[in-house]
Amino acid sequence: MTDKPSAAGKTRRQLYEDRLRRRSMLIAASSTLAVFLAVIILVPMSPGWDRVKASFFNWDVFVKTFPKLLEAFKLDVMIFLWSAPAIVILGLLVALARDVRSPALFPLRILGAAYTDIFRGVPVVLTVYLIGFGIPGLGLPRPLNSPYIWGSLALILTYAAYVAEIFRSGIESVHASQRSAAQSLGLSDADSMRFVILPQAIRRVIPSQMNMFIALQKDVALLSFIGPVEIFRQAGVFKSLLANFTPYVGAALIFLAVTIPATRYADYLLAKQNRERS
Amino acid sequence: MPKLSLKNVVKRFGEKTVCNGISLDVEEGQMVCLIGASGGGKSTLLRCINLLENIEDGEIFLDDTDISIPGLDPQPVRRRIGMVFQSFNLFPHMTAAENVMLAPRRVYKRSRNDLRAEITDLFIRFGLADHMNHYPDQLSGGQQQRVAIVRALAMKPEVMLFDEITSALDPQLVGEVLDVLRLLKDSGMTMVLATHEMGFAREAADKVCFLSNGEIIEEGPAKALFETPQQPETQAFLARAIK
């Protein structure tokens, strides 16, 4: 078969595919439109819509509270910023501890395993409560009883357990032949890990780790239960003050503004990595 | 005194005996080729010599020193015995030059600047001068394998082990890697190869051993083993392998 160029300079295969593409775009657009129209028309027809609209989507309340919420969100970001590096370091140490072979360090291995089991097994909010109320309850002096310290510690301990497991899966995904090659050169076990295995392992798990840190940014809101007036708590204050739920919607929008780009970026990295490996 | 000497080496994986009492002497500067079907124990034997696997019984001597004593620190031994693998095993996150410098830097505590001239010479000698700063995935299989050889040589080993190093290469790339082996032999390196390249073994090896089911069935000078094999099993293998 010869594809003779048509008047537009396209082969008949290209014309056919153009036609297909136009048709699927048309179908996608009209079905999306139909769904949106249904939502816009049907939801306001529900009996409680006016009440929901007034208490969740009150524009005046939104405008009034949004700047304060944004201000409070800074605290969420700060807690995130000091917790994240601690989580990476602790997670990496735990992952390495679970990999040691020397019998003298066996207790480290057990501790590592017990640690990840416990902190992955307890709901984050419970850990926040237990550590956030429990440790200051020991009667520590002024700066040391801050809920910021102990709330952050609860987040660090929980997330480092997950992060450690992801690092470990990365370490195990590096083929044994890489370790053989490193050892055959006379490198010590520690050097093989540090220069050969870990750099490859860390690179592979970056997208998964990013997803953990997106989850962390959201879970910072749990610290509101033990005191800090971060965005969720601030929204709660406004809710009580104004008897209106709109501040929660504002808070959700602020979270989304951060998490959606981050999630998209993590997905992009993952897709890129999958392409490279195939 | 042989450079490398195996005495009755036994290696098992669970129930399976992979090396069943192998004895072999390799003289200084000799090239010894191990031939035989896949699964015959060639690769495992090389891994045992480099202490990547522990042997169940027997002894391995390097310069008359027993290196197979249980509990011996393997690292000083591995520095003296270089190994190159079928699948290259370059470190993908480092350039060719970094791959080569890593072990001398860490093990001998030498600086990059100190190593630079020496490493550059090695790259030039093996026709890789243009590729020092390339990453492994920017190199052809033949180039990667030559970098892997250079990487092992940078540790100045006394013995080199080659584990089917041309098996993963496209046929047109095999030649350049075999040329490197010839070059090494001419420089007096003591070498043990597991190989399927019968033509090369016949032409270049000082001694050829035919392994089957974990035993050396027959060994001898290359010419004798290829032209007048004594054992029926060797004859059958060679008839199949050389077509």
The count of residues in chain A is: 278
Number of CB pairs < 8 Å for A and B?
61
Q: Could A186 and B107 be called an inter-chain contact, meaning their C-beta atoms sit closer than 8 Å?
A: yes
pLDDT digits (tens, 9 = 90+) for A57-105: 989 999 999 999 999 999 999 999 999 999 999 999 999 988 877 788 8
Q: Could A178 and B91 be called an inter-chain contact, meaning their C-beta atoms sit closer than 8 Å?
A: yes
pLDDT digits (tens, 9 = 90+) for A242-258: 989 999 999 999 999 99
The pLDDT > 90 percentage for chain A reads: 65
Q: Could B93 and A199 be called an inter-chain contact, meaning their C-beta atoms sit closer than 8 Å?
A: yes
Whichever domain contains A169, its CATH number is 1.10.3720.10
- Which residues make Cβ contacts (< 8 Å) with residue A214, sequence separation at least 6? A259, A262, A263, A266
A100 and A5 in one domain?
no
Tokens of A91: 């997670």
Q: Coil, strand, or helix at residue A174?
A: coil
pLDDT digits (tens, 9 = 90+) for B94-127: 999 999 999 999 999 999 999 999 999 999 988 8
Q: Which amino acid is at B127?
A: G
A93 and A36 in one domain?
no
Distances in Å between the Cα of B145 and the Cα atoms of A100, B31, B166, B173 are 31, 19, 8, 10
Residue A277 clears pLDDT 80, i.e. is over it: no
Chain B interface, mutation test: which of A184, A196, A203, A275, most B Cβ atoms within 10 Å? A184
Neighbouring CB atoms inside 10 A of B121's CB total 11
User: Residue A147: what pLDDT?
Assistant: 84
A41 and A73 in one domain?
no
Dihedral angle sign, alpha carbons of residues A146, A149, A151, A153: negative
Q: Could B82 and A200 be called an inter-chain contact, meaning their C-beta atoms sit closer than 8 Å?
A: no
Residue-range definition of the domain harbouring residue A240: 57-277
A251 and A146 in one domain?
yes
Residue A111 clears pLDDT 60, i.e. is over it: yes
Residue A6 clears pLDDT 60, i.e. is over it: no
Instruction: Tally the domains of chain A.
Output: 2
Q: Which residue has the higher pLDDT, A2 or A32?
A: A32
Residue A1 clears pLDDT 80, i.e. is over it: no
Distances in Å between the Cα of A96 and the Cα atoms of A66, A99, A113, A177, B76 are 44, 5, 11, 19, 25
A151 and A30 in one domain?
no
A179, closest residue in chain B (CA to CA): B89
User: Do residues A124 and A158 touch, judged by C-beta distance below 8 A?
Assistant: yes
pLDDT digits (tens, 9 = 90+) for A126-137: 999 999 888 888
A111 and A29 in one domain?
no
Q: Binning pLDDT at 50, 70 and 90, where does residue A185 land?
A: very high
Element (H, E) at B160: strand B159-163
The vertex-A222 CA angle with A216 and A227, nearest 5°, equals: 130
Q: Binning pLDDT at 50, 70 and 90, where does residue A38 land?
A: very high
CA atoms of A15 and B168, how far apart (whole Å): 44
Neighbouring CB atoms inside 10 A of B13's CB total 10
Q: Domains of chain B (ranges plus CATH)?
A: 4-241 (3.40.50.300)
A69 and A27 in one domain?
no
CA atoms of B174 and B177, how far apart (whole Å): 5
User: Residue A4: what pLDDT?
Assistant: 56
A94 and A17 in one domain?
no
List chain B residues with pLDDT less than 70: 243
CA atoms of B202 and B184, how far apart (whole Å): 17
The reply to whether A50 falls in a domain is no
Average confidence (pLDDT) over A42-57: 88
A216–chain B Cβ distance below 8 A for any pair? no
Q: Which residue has the tokens 């042997």?
A: B55
Residue A183 clears pLDDT 90, i.e. is over it: yes
User: Residue A5: what pLDDT?
Assistant: 55
CA atoms of A58 and A45, how far apart (whole Å): 18
Distances in Å between the Cα of A50 and the Cα atoms of A42, A55, A151 are 13, 9, 39
* Residues of chain B contacting residue A195, judged by C-beta atoms under 8 Å apart: 91, 102, 106
Query: Nearest to residue A66, comparing CAs of A234, A220, A224, A221?
Result: A234
The strand pairing partners of B25, in sequence order, are B5
User: Residue A3: what pLDDT?
Assistant: 52
DSSP structural state of residue A205 = H
Tokens of A80: 């995130």
A259–chain B Cβ distance below 8 A for any pair? no
Angle formed by the axes of helices B112-125 and B96-107, nearest 10° = 130
A66 and A29 in one domain?
no
A64 and A33 in one domain?
no
CA distance A179 to chain B (A): 9
Chain A interface, mutation test: which of B93, B100, B158, most A Cβ atoms within 10 Å? B93
A79 and A27 in one domain?
no
What DSSP line would sit under B98-133, residue for residue? HHHHHHHHHHS---HHHHHHHHHHHHHHTT-GGGTT
The strand pairing partners of B32, in sequence order, are B192, B207
CA atoms of A115 and A94, how far apart (whole Å): 8
Nearest to A185 among B87, B92, B155 (CB): B155
A98 and A206 in one domain?
yes
Nearest to A200 among B78, B93, B107 (CB): B93
ipTM of the complex: 0.88
Chain B interface, mutation test: which of A177, A180, A185, most B Cβ atoms within 10 Å? A185
What DSSP line would sit under A63-128, residue for residue? HHHHHHHHHHHHHHHHHHHHHHHHHHHHHHHHHHHTT---GGGHHHHHHHHHHHHHHHHS-HHHHH
Q: How much is the pTM?
A: 0.83
Q: Could B106 and A191 be called an inter-chain contact, meaning their C-beta atoms sit closer than 8 Å?
A: yes
Residue A18 clears pLDDT 70, i.e. is over it: yes
The reply to whether A273 falls in a domain is yes
A102–chain B Cβ distance below 8 A for any pair? no
A202, closest residue in chain B (CA to CA): B93
* Residues of chain B contacting residue A191, judged by C-beta atoms under 8 Å apart: 106-107
Phi and psi, residue B185, nearest 5° = -60, -45
